[in-house]
Amino acid sequence: QEGFVCAAGTMTAVIDRGQGKENFEMKDGDALYVPAFVWHGFENFSADAVMLAFSSTNYRADRSDYCEDYEKYVREFRSKIGA
């Protein structure tokens, strides 16, 4: 589980809750909760953007426990959220 806060500027959150990717525009003060096994990423950061990220777990420094390949996520993890 993770939480993200747009502390300054703007950004776009890209989320897949099991029905395909959705974009959410975030501005200063907006927050987003992301449950386990929900695909998420961020793009379109403004020059002054600051994001705070909070996680319920520790990640390995080499990120080997994190799926960064969307197609792999669809094949292996999407079913864990009931999609």
Predicted confidence pLDDT, tens digits, the chain (83 residues): 899 999 999 999 999 988 889 999 999 999 999 998 888 999 999 999 999 999 888 877 787 777 788 888 888 776 666 55
> Rounded to whole angstroms, how far apart are CA atoms 7 and 71?
30
Tokens for 70? Answer: 């969307």
Side chain identity, residue 69: D
Tell if the pTM clears 0.85, that is, is over it.
no
